[in-house]
């Protein structure tokens, strides 16, 4: 590979989420991936602490951001894509299958026609195999469903932003039990990513460290050799047994019902009501307690 972006990672400890800025050092053109808008589920307070760190880095480094990229509608944090676009410009983008997520959650929230489910809230919807440029670095889009039905991976030169597919090798892979998720599809997505060149850097969407510092990157070769869910070459059925068994023990994210009504519909917070306050809608008894 001749194209190697510079990657800066930002970790949100509250949600275990990784956010990224990558740029082409030759042109200083860049992109932001999966930025977090802070939300405290206990108080309902929002802030731009994480997004401000990204903004400060972009300005100080002199990066010209052309793209603000979400890999999927996140269930564990709000996206700061809209806030960053207001500060930096660029196009906000997500995968075209987001329309399926919108239809699914539009029903769960009983939203009306004011919530469009055609993806029109974004500037561009990417399809499998789409390519675009960040400076002189080609970026290819892989459709990577399983965690959600709309998840995509951005392969930028020798770096791939693989979101909620892989975890770090000692943690294995991510869950597939959210509405629209599927462990067999996740297995196929993992195999496609592992088919990238061995030296490809895989930047994950989350880390939940225990007894070590938070980490965000391992190569394809390292995952092949060390990933606890994949290193022994499981069949799809063997993988599903492990993944589905693990998922059955996991609680739903405490921000899921708040986050998806924002992230699935363009990352825009609800409009203020007559008192100037914004309100979230939480469906009761849609899911069983875990």
Q: Domain spans of the chain? A: 6-249
pLDDT at 139: 98
pLDDT, one tens digit per residue, over 232-251 is 999 999 999 999 999 999 99
Topology of domain 6-249 in CATH is: Metallo-beta-lactamase; Chain A (3.60.15)
* Cα–Cα distance for residue pair 152/127, rounded to 1 Å: 9
d(CA 118, CA 93): 14
pLDDT digits (tens, 9 = 90+) for 176-222: 999 999 999 999 999 999 999 999 999 999 999 989 999 999 999 99
Q: Is the dihedral of CA 138, 22, 64, 4 positive or negative?
A: negative
pLDDT tens digits along 36-92 = 999 999 999 999 999 999 999 999 999 999 999 999 999 999 999 999 999 999 999
Question: Residue 172's pLDDT band (boundaries 50, 70, 90)?
Answer: very high
Residue 1 has pLDDT above 60, yes or no: no
Residue 248 is predicted with a pLDDT of 94
The 8-class DSSP code of residue 234 comes to: -
pTM: 0.96
């Amino acid at each position: 590979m001749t194209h190697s972006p510079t990657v800066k990672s930002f970790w949100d400890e509250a949600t275990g989420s990784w956010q990224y800025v990558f740029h082409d050092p030759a042109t200083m053109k860049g992109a932001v991936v999966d930025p977090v808008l802070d939300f405290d589920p206990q108080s309902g307070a929002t802030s731009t602490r994480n997004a401000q760190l990204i903004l400060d880095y972009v300005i100080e480094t002199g990066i010209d951001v052309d793209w603000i990229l979400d890999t999927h509608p996140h269930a564990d944090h709000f996206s700061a894509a809209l806030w960053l676009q207001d500060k930096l410009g660029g196009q906000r983008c997500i995968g075209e299958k987001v329309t399926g997520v919108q239809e699914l959650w539009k029903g769960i929230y009983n939203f009306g026609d004011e919530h469009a489910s055609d993806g029109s809230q974004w500037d561009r919807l990417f399809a499998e195999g789409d390519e675009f440029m960040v400076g002189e670095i080609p970026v290819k889009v892989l459709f990577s469903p399983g965690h959600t039905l709309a998840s995509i991976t951005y392969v930028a030169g020798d770096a791939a932003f693989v979101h909620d597919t892989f975890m770090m090798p000692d943690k294995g892979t991510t869950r597939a039990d959210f509405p629209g998720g599927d462990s067999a599809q996740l297995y196929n997505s993992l195999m496609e990513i592992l088919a990238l060149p061995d030296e490809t850097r895989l930047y994950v969407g989350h880390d939940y460290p225990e007894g070590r510092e938070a980490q965000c990157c391992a190569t394809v070769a390292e995952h092949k050799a060390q990933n606890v869910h994949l290193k022994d070459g499981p069949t799809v059925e063997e993988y599903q047994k492990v993944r589905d068994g693990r998922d059955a023990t996991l609680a739903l994210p405490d921000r899921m019902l708040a986050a998806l009504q924002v992230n699935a519909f363009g990352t825009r917070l609800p409009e203020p009501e007559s008192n100037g306050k914004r309100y979230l809608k939480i469906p009761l008894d849609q899911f069983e307690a875990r």
